[in-house]
Structure 1
């Protein structure tokens, strides 16, 4: 939470830098454009005016987004950052269409004016300044993880390109190609509208809880690298400002305890935060389906075979649990090692019966050489014998 607040403060710095730069450039372009009769320079100046309004809205939105969660906003006020971006795009649409209308009117009126090529130098200087601001805000947006500032940085780059185009238009007009000035003004307007459209789509996508499926695919691949997770059953992602919230349903081995499942869920949350910067993850755990070979009829055959292997003294290391206990009919108790050392095959198993105590615990009884044997088998990912007792047959 504190890191997110710090990120918003960093984003504020970028917005303030942009506002200050646009104030200087727009004033210079509008004054020079009217003085030198350059439509493209005036259009570029109005473009910067729209940027001022947009960045002011962005700054207000970022500051409002820093408010802590309250009774009516349980997830905080992060979405105000997206709302500020949406407002910015609407303002840019208005300015863009207004400049386009004004330029078309001048073309239709066939107004001829002499343009001073000195205005081109202002465009070149403006392009250089905005490119520096673009680099600064891009670096800051990555550091602060601010989508709004990232959009503003794209606008900075667009402004650098349009300012360069303005310079080209002014130079062309000074060589008796005045129509070029008008055409470049239209192109600049296109950049304004295109940037507005991109910001509008991105902000409305976030506000409507849209989420990038490619990110969900990356999350799923990373989650499946964690052992004992059988399947990522579902994922739902949404963003609040620059913060990602995830709801994930995982299928895990049904033999895992609640504690073990919780530990794995914590691993998932930590991994997503560290590798992908996910702000909040809600993990729901469901047991994976019981495999076909764990159905009772199949378990009967499997455990019978394993009892036979044990009585034959085969695969004892694998089939006996480390805490295995064996109680002879005379009451003598043996552990795993003692049982392995003294195991002798005396006769074949007969009259075997299996009783299901629970989904993963089975009781097996059988007769061997006139002695009744009782075993308890438990499945924790694999079946193992945890208890065995001999009882003299009456």
Structure 2
């Protein structure tokens, strides 16, 4: 097991255990205190557990070496796990909207008990600590799935803050006989759900682009091109396509060499291109090189309107 996998698994297991405990605590206290916002927050933490399990499976699968059916490796398993986390967040968010809206429009709600505030404060502190820990580790080991899980924790902390405001307002409203303040608890439930849905959509969208093999833009590929242009024997970089494959990058590159070279020499240059890219750019893990015979490119005056050569 690689050090990267060990760190990611440890972080994920910590999240699973703490989220499980938080979900149970908030669920029980929310039911005892009669707080819609806290029960919604408990559901959010429960979705964190399911999401963490998906992330754990994705991280483990992503570490598998390339095989016959997956010649590019299994790196995208992390992105698939991220999409699952995003979808779970959206589903949970919609459910919270429905339940909180029913309470919001069903007459003057009953204010929750003050114990709900204690549970929410504990949740905010733990979730923010989890976010800081996992976000830093995700950037260190370049894991999109772990970063998604970190933002899942941050969204839970934000939703807990919304729940805290709602519960506090409802408690104050009941104590000082301000009925309109008692609507803050279910209103906070709706706000929590919107935060959850937004985070889920953003995570799923970003990972979907990677799964659909969107290539890196010119700005991000320029360093790779500059590296190859310096290699002895490479006359021109004809094309370079780079795409993320989970936590690493896969390169497809076409380079031109002297057309009079032997096949063996051309193959030697292609091996050097691959070696240099892998050595100088640690985020690249796969390189596929195609050798073209060098031909000077035609001047603009030699082209017709459709871009073809003038015969």
Matched, 1:71 2:68: yes
* 1:202 equivalenced with 2:201 (yes/no): no
Number of the residue aligned with 1:390? none
Written as runs of structure 1 = structure 2, the 5 A alignment for 1:311-350 is none
Tell me which of 43, 48, 66 is aligned to 1:46: 43
Change (3 A) 1:222 1:179: farther
CA RMSD of aligned residues (A): 2.7
Listed one character per residue, the Cα deviations across residues 209-255 of structure 1 (whole Å, up to 9, x for unaligned) are 12331422443344445566443321222333222211011234657
Is 1:274–2:271 an aligned residue pair? no
> CA–CA distance in 1 between the matches of 2:241 and 2:205?
20
The equivalent of 2:191 in structure 1 is 187
Q: State the alpha-carbon separation in 2 of the partners of residues 36 and 278 from structure 1.
A: 53
CA distance in 2, matches of 1:180, 1:291: 69
- Equivalent position SS for 2:32: helix
| Counterparts of 2:61 and 2:215, CA distance in 1 | 23
Offset of residue 9 of structure 1: 3.2
| TM-score of the aligned structures, taking structure 2 as reference length | 0.82
- Pick from 107, 113, 117 the counterpart of residue 110 of structure 1: 107
Aligned to 1:279, what secondary structure does the other structure show? Answer: strand
Identify, as 1 or 2, the structure richer in strand: 1
For 1:75 and 1:109, the matched residues in 2 are separated by: 55
Runs of 5+ in structure 2 lacking a partner? 174-180, 299-311
Match of 1:82 in 2: 79
Give the Cα–Cα distance (whole angstroms) in 2 for the partners of residues 250 and 182 of structure 1.
62
Q: What's the CA shift for 1:283?
A: 2.0
1:283 paired to 2:280: no
Return 5+ residue gaps in structure 1 as ranges. Answer: 293-394
Larger helix percent: 2
Contact 1:145 1:242 in 2 (8 A): yes
Give the TM-score taking structure 1 as reference length. 0.66
Correspondences of 1:171-182 after superposition (within 5 Å): 171-176=168-173, 177-182=181-186
In structure 2, the CA distance between the partners of 1:104 and 1:250, relative to structure 1 (3 Å rule), is same
Between 1 and 2, higher relative CO (CA 8 Å, sep ≥ 6) is seen in 2
Question: Residue 96 of structure 1: CA displacement?
Answer: 1.4
Is the contact made by 1:107 and 1:182 (CA closer than 8 Å) also made in structure 2? yes
- Secondary structure of 1:78 counterpart: coil
Say which of 240, 256, 262 aligns to 1:251. Answer: 256
Counterparts of 1:1-394 in structure 2, within 5 Å, are: 5-176=2-173, 177-213=181-217, 214-224=219-229, 226=231, 229-252=234-257, 259=265, 262-263=268-269, 266-267=272-273, 269-290=275-296
Q: Secondary structure at the match of 2:281?
A: helix
Q: What secondary structure, in the 3-state scheme, does the structure 2 residue paired with 1:189 have?
A: helix
Aligned length: 289
Residue 274 of structure 2 contacts residue 288 of structure 2 at CA under 8 Å; is this kept in 1? no
User: Quick one: structure 1 residues 221 and 125, their matched pair in 2 at CA, closer, same or farther if it must change by over 3 Å?
Assistant: farther
Q: CA deviation at 1:72?
A: 2.7
Q: Structure 1 residue 98: deviation in Å?
A: 1.0
State how far apart, in whole Å, the 2-side matches of 1:137 and 1:120 are: 26
